[in-house]
Amino acid sequence: MDILRLMTAGSVDDGKSTLIGRLLYDSKSILVDQLEVLEKQSKNKNSDGIDLAILTDGLRAEREQGITIDVAYRYFSTPNRKFIIADAPGHVQYTRNMITGASNSDLMIILIDARQGVIEQTRRHSIIASLLKIKHIVIAVNKMDLVNYSEEVFENIKTDYLEIAKKLNLSNIQFFPISALDGDNIVDRSTKMPWFKENSLLEYLEQVEINKEINLEDTRFQVQFVIRPQTEELHDYRGYAGEIVSGIYKKGDRIKVLPQNIETTIIKVETGGKEVDEVFAPQPAVIHIEDDIDISRGDYFVHADQIPTVANEFEALVCWMDHKELVIGNKYFLQHRSKLIKTIIKEIDYKLDVNSLEKTPTDSVKLNEVVKVTLKTASPLVHDSFEKNKGTGSAILVDETSNSTVGAVMIL
């Protein structure tokens, strides 16, 4: 049975936690003892006598404030599929947590309050979905019970959102009019909105095709560890361990070691402690090569005819996640998979306005802003564009003193 990883996004009080609670409740994924606890703790009860949002508002601070601060993960399954749901924060100041949840998701559910329509957070989350190349977008127009289940309201919101989607080149968008509080169109189709002829939200989630997008074309293997046991039995053993980021590797393949740019031949591949004919993404593997080359953690093996970009300077989109402003000349560590390299902000090209989607010049970047920058690294970085290969096209910026993650990087 396959697994669908999805996340919910939207502004505070749009009903994200209630929606997830409803999915768990109506799909019979809540244990009896959990229900008893819910009934005792519920303040905002629905017709079932429970507050479904409590299921995901796990942190005490969240319960006290009635909001979701951190990303909460919940797991459930139906006879057709398993699900991992990330419940992301709704407040603007927690957008960085939302990016964390989105980075591992196949599908994003963006909730819109039917009374308010498309708002700034809707645009912000849609931009992040676009930047992270999330393939499937679900627009759940919630609280339809508060607008008399109006088809006109739903259609107007649908029209407004499609304009944003067009600007962001978002595709595979599905719209659902729902009431998370009452369960309309969540697990079962609602009788209160006969004008909506599509499947329920859960039926769609069970059927949506998820392509894991394993790239088997571009060979990218990054060395994480050099294995040299130097025992009597394995005196000459030297293998390079890591994860196949993309592509297929076989014995006899001619490869290049980057950034050294030295060509050699694979003489053996192993996975799971056994020698095999080939290894492919995303398997962990140990690769043996013919020549004795100085190779260390973070170096790449690629096929000689599939060379990625190797450069000290490159452009990237950055979602800024720190309270300290990003300015030109700031220095950070760039964590690019297992490679940690010093980098400097050489230029800030523009800031993306989340309301108008316009690009405006700026000299500094504040928390939760999305900007295009030029980064310069202390040594050559082996990479692809994020659009071509997420595995080698993404990175994070790390503060040199606090070791905090301060920026999500998508290489252009």
**CATH number of domain containing 77:** 3.40.50.300
- Tokens standing for residue 108: 């994003």
285-298, pLDDT tens digit by residue?
999 999 888 999 99
Confidence of residue 154 (pLDDT cuts 50, 70, 90): very high
Q: Which phi-psi region, left, alpha or beta, contains residue 129 (left: φ > 0; alpha: ψ -120 to 50)? A: alpha
Q: Record the pTM.
A: 0.75
Phi, psi of 316 (to 5 degrees): -155, 155
Q: Are residues 42 and 70 in the same domain?
A: yes
What's the pLDDT tens digit per position in 159-188? 999 998 998 888 889 999 999 888 899 988
CA distance 185 to 178: 5
Task: Specify the number of domains making up the chain.
Answer: 3
Look-up of token digits 């960085």: 96
Domain stops at, among 183, 207, 231: 207
Last residue of some domain: 244, 269, 303?
303
For residue 116, tell me if it sits in a domain: yes
Residues 246 and 139 in one domain: no
Q: Residue 176: inside a domain, yes or no?
A: yes
Q: How confident is the model at residue 211 (pLDDT cuts 50, 70, 90)?
A: low
Q: What is the mean pLDDT of residues 107-121?
A: 91
Q: Is residue 264 in a domain?
A: yes
Stronger pLDDT, 61 or 104, i.e. the higher one = 104
pLDDT of residue 182: 86
Q: Are residues 329 and 201 in the same domain?
A: no
Residue 354 has pLDDT above 70, yes or no: no
Please check whether residues 227 and 121 belong to one and the same domain.
Answer: no
pLDDT score at 62? 52
Whether 138 and 80 map to the same domain: the answer is yes
The answer on 71 and 38 residing in a single domain is: yes
Q: Is residue 214 part of a domain?
A: no
Residue 213 lies in a domain: no
In a domain, 243, yes or no: yes
Sequence-distant (6+) residues with CB within 8 A of 254 are: 263, 264, 265, 303, 304
- Residue 39 shares a structural domain with residue 23: yes
Which token pair is 113? Answer: 């309050």
**Could you tell me if 21 and 119 lie in one domain?**
yes
Bigger pLDDT: 143 vs 356? 143
Q: Are residues 224 and 186 both part of a single domain? A: no
Residue 83 forms part of a structural domain: yes
Q: What amino acid occupies position 46?
A: N
- The span from the CA of 51 to the CA of 47, in Å, is 10
Domain limits at 104?
Answer: 3-207
Neighbouring C-alpha atoms within 13 Å toward the C-beta of 171: 3
Distances (CA, A) of 68 to 8, 11, 91, 120: 11, 10, 8, 18
Residue indicated by tokens 């928390």: 367
Q: Do 197 and 52 have their domain in common?
A: yes
Instruction: Looking at the structure, tell me whether residues 9 and 73 fall in a common domain.
Output: yes
Q: Residue 322 pLDDT > 70, yes or no?
A: yes
CATH code for the domain in which residue 258 is found: 2.40.30.10
pLDDT, residue 101, reads 66
Last residue of a domain, one of 207, 239, 259: 207
Give Cβ neighbours of residue 11 (< 8 Å, ≥ 6 apart): 90, 111, 113, 116, 119, 121, 122
pLDDT at residue 2 in the model: 83
Is residue 215 domain-resident?
A: no
Output the average pLDDT for the chain.
85
pLDDT above 70: percentage of residues in the chain? 85
